[in-house]
Amino acid sequence: MNIKVSGQASVLWAKKRAENGRHAWLPVIVHLIDTQNSINWLFNHWLSRGQRDLLIGASTEQETQKLVKFLGFIHDVGKATAAFQIKESYDRDEILDDQLKSQLSSGGFLNLDELFLVSPNKSPHAIAGEAIIESLGIPVSVGAIIGGHHGKPAVEPPRGQIRDYTANYFQSDNETECQEPWKHVQQELLSCGLRTSGYQTVEDVPVITQPQAVLLEGLLIMSDWLASSEYLFDRAKKVPLFPLINIDESWKDIDMNQRFRQAMMAWDFGGEWMPEKITVEDPYKLRWGFEARPVQSAITKEISKVTDPGIIIIEAPMGIGKTEIALVAVEQLAYISGMDGVFMGLPTQATTNAMFGRVEEWLRFLAQTQNDNFQIQLMHGRSQFNQKYRCLPSAANVYDNDESGEIVVNSWFSGKKSILTKFTVGTIDNLLLMGLKQKHLFLRHLGFSGKVVIIDEVHAYDSYMNQYLYKAINWLGAYHVPIVILSATLPTEKRNSLLRAYLRGKYGRQYRKEVNARAGWEESQAYPLLSIVDGRQIKQVSEFPGRSDQKGMKIQVHRLNLSDEELIKDVVNKIRDGGIAGVIVNTVKRAQSLAKLVPKDLKLMLLHSAFLATDRINQETELQKAVGKKGHRPERMIVIGTQVLEQSLDIDFDVLYTDIAPMDLILQRAGRLHRHQIKRSEALIQPQLFIMGIEESDEYGKGNEAVYSKYLLMKTDHFLQETITLPDDISLLVQRVYEIGSDQDVLGINLARANYDVELERQRKKAKVFQIDSPKLKVGATIHNWLGRGLGKVDQDEQKAGAAVRDIKETLEVILVQHTSKGNYLLDGRQLSCVNPQEIAQQLIRIPSVVTPTSGQVDQAIKELETLTSQYFSSWQDNIWLKGALSLPLDENLSIVFEGWRLAYSSDLGLKYEKDDERGQQKL
């Protein structure tokens, strides 16, 4: 389209910069057209069909595209104000500022050199843009998107802005001659935005729903960031996208169509997944080389019947192949719903790392089938240490080499843009953060709204995390996103809460009137169980072929009350004729204490969260090699670990010792017993489970009761019999522990129940503090106040945000190094000067929260760490990998006294801590 604007509009600047003696700028009109072109392209080529359908709603695609283009063009109209145009350049370059003021004067804006505004900061350009277009008749539900396009919408419509800060908009409160050019150019840009979008008047712009507004806001932010990307930096390459122009150039010197085409050719690396209907009889054989189990085939068949996919919950035994069921379901549901990506969420970094390879293998099959390249993102705080992920090729390099069928990484999708990658595997935090008030939350919602979402090990999340989980599912329901939830041990009430959260998001508070289901569905205790929300219908399937032929695994359950020394002797004796013993405990300290007692001549593996990131990745890999499905099992070995061993790791123990825990977690741990069909020593042919920590009736030790509710431990202790059969007893035992009606069977339970209820309510209330509201489905509901008022540190800090959705104390992440009189070293003995910065950056560990239990102590610790870092490693601030990192320098014995605690590290045990009597004395 040939766009014509006045001289006034053409001299307005959107960006300006002085660099290396070069003065550059970008006219407002150029950035508006760039963003309009970008958002229009993203709507047509990047959004999934499902996302477009949601945005279209009851309208048409043509009308929705008009709105999309209008938002892209008009988003920065607030820069056409006096308050913005007189802003100084970032580096206070007076020559550049004067040049642009001279241009403005030539365009008819008067007396700018004499202009002084009392409060220009009261009208930031996003809010100014909203105020302008709403004053000119644009609906508030649309105007709010303009006001929030820098990540946070206003608390309410800025109705008094122009009246209260008139000079910010028009240069003067009352001088008509000065005001007129501003009013004219603002009206001109609005008219141009309407015209280029296909509208005739402001009355043509529609009123929209809140979920539509959230996604449009996310799409606008994405397109604005894209149109603001001057270059694409991909490893060694620097490719122009939307660069600034020389100060002596105008927008008329730019071929806007050519500019956009070149930018998109550089940015778009293809890789659009086009899901196909599964027609082969056994998709498992084709993808993984094994014949589908009867339960896998049955579930896949049931999912194929779905016409309006919602939430699907699969409750089935450990080791039955739920991951493969879920990945096949992704293909089925994506084809039906029009989604074109997936998010796989898991409880921990360890389980996420273990799952990443399996998803990458499945995705490679899809890429090769379609003969295209698909982009993937591993989303957790230490993804850069995952060797498999780091070895994936750059999307740009593969694109240049004209290769296909590859799994690639696109550097543009980093930071807050990571979730916009079509295929993502990450910790569950990434999904829970959908419910947290945080700047640029719209991008997270946009990313999730185009994917099929898999939630693995859903039983692993406590009541606090569940509040964020339900809120995320609430919004996924509003976006009509298909969800697949997996669990081997799911309480009935939690299953129902998950289903209700989705239905409420999709159909509103009156969802019960919309839903059809058989009587008694909420009480079902069948196992395995498949629950499907298909449109307004809830279906449940509990009869699966082949179940009667399957023999359950009988596990002998023993209770042990031994000292640590006696316990290790018992474990050693148990595997005297060969075997792998697993010991799962509830705290890191207990794991370290037990590990120190294992005889030196016996192979030991220790896995917990207090290891260096590099050590932990290596241990996870070695564990899988030793006791994984295709592992090379040593003759005798003890594996000691914390809760990470109970979740999503396909490992096999001959005998298992575990601290007391809630029933569902005990059963998850038991699922690591005799998981594979292998030959075992005579003494360990019968699966044996030893429960530790039951000191006496209703007493489970301070450590265990600090981690888990005494109420759940008491009920688990009561209902856990001497013999259990997996999978037959799973649902029965889990439901008995979590159903209130069974309390009467447990003596002395009332006080524990009362304390449990109080804690649940405390967690629910605490979770609401920074949580967004449920979606408002009524047309006209806006995104005003969606993120509330000031959010403090949670708003900006990803670590704090992650801690907020997990209800964990804030901890500090540091780089562990050794500092001695001879020099600085990594803990493996290599001199720092001989190691590349990227490898130094990998030496991360979290300081235990007990060292800094309050925010004040955290702040004090940061100051101390900053001092130590600047004292010994001042050059880090000049390195892209190490800038801003905090070091904890250990002495020649790999220890330090820090904040009154002695911290010591060993590659065998990890980071240990104990109270130090000589508080404050640094021993370096």
DSSP of 760-782:
HHHHHHHHTTTBPPPP--STT--
Q: Which residue has the tokens 């013993």?
A: 581
The larger pLDDT score, comparing residue 63 to residue 319, is at 63
**What distance in Å separates the CA atoms of residue 107 and residue 104, rounded to the nearest whole number?**
5
- How many domains is the chain partitioned into structurally? 4
As to burial, measured by CB atoms within 10 angstroms (0-12 exposed, 13-18 middle, 19+ buried), residue 125 is buried
Backbone angles phi, psi at 311, to 5 degrees: -105, 135
End position of a domain, from candidates 516, 543, 570: 543
Q: Report if residue 801 sits inside a domain.
A: no
Distance from C-alpha of 437 to C-alpha of 800, rounded to nearest angstrom: 12
723 within some domain: yes
User: pLDDT of 289-303, one tens digit each?
Assistant: 999 999 999 999 999
For the segment 804-858, what is each residue's pLDDT rounded down to a tens digit? 787 666 678 899 999 998 999 999 899 998 998 888 988 888 888 888 877 778 8
Residue that is written with structure tokens 């000119």 in the block: 136
Q: Tell whether 719 and 622 lie within a shared domain.
A: yes
Same domain, 47 and 190: yes
Do 421 and 533 have their domain in common? Answer: yes
Let me know whether 539 and 555 are in one domain.
no
Q: Are residues 357 and 446 in the same domain?
A: yes
In a domain, 754, yes or no: no
My answer on whether 251 and 307 are in the same domain is no
Residues 19 and 73 both lie in one domain: yes
Look at residue 557 and give its three-state secondary structure: strand
Q: Do 378 and 520 have their domain in common?
A: yes
**C-alpha–C-alpha distance, residues 309 and 330, integer Å:** 11
Give a yes or no: residue 836 inside a domain: yes
The reply to whether 37 falls in a domain is yes
Domain that holds residue 855: 809-915
pLDDT tens per residue, range 391-412: 898 887 776 666 788 999 988 9
List strands edge to edge, sheet with 895-898: 895-898, 901-906, 910-915
* Residue entry with tokens 């820098």: 150
For residues 267-283, one letter each, b for 16 or more C-beta atoms within 10 angstroms of the residue's C-beta and e for the rest, the string is bebebebebeebeeeeb
**For residue 321, is it within any domain?**
yes
- The answer to whether residue 613 sits within a structural domain is yes
* Calpha distance 504→310 (Å, rounded): 12
Structure tokens belonging to residue 687: 């699966």
User: Rounded CA gap, 34 and 259, in Å?
Assistant: 8
Q: Which amino acid is at 573?
A: N
Q: Is 478 in the same domain as 351?
A: yes
Predicted pLDDT of residue 502: 97
Q: How far is CA 165 from the centre of its chain?
A: 40
| pLDDT one-digit tens code per residue, 344-374 | 999 888 788 889 999 999 999 999 999 999 9
Give the burial class of 682: count Cβ atoms within 10 A of its Cβ; 0-12 exposed, 13-18 middle, 19 or more buried. exposed
Q: What is the CA radius of gyration of the chain?
A: 30
Question: Residues 458-479: pLDDT tens digits?
Answer: 988 888 899 999 999 999 999 9
Same domain, 824 and 849: yes
What's the per-residue H, E or C state across 18-43?
A: EECCEEEEEEHHHHHHHHHHHHHHHH
Same domain, 192 and 302: no
- For the chain, percent of residues with pLDDT exceeding 90: 69
Note whether 260 and 306 are same-domain residues.
Answer: no
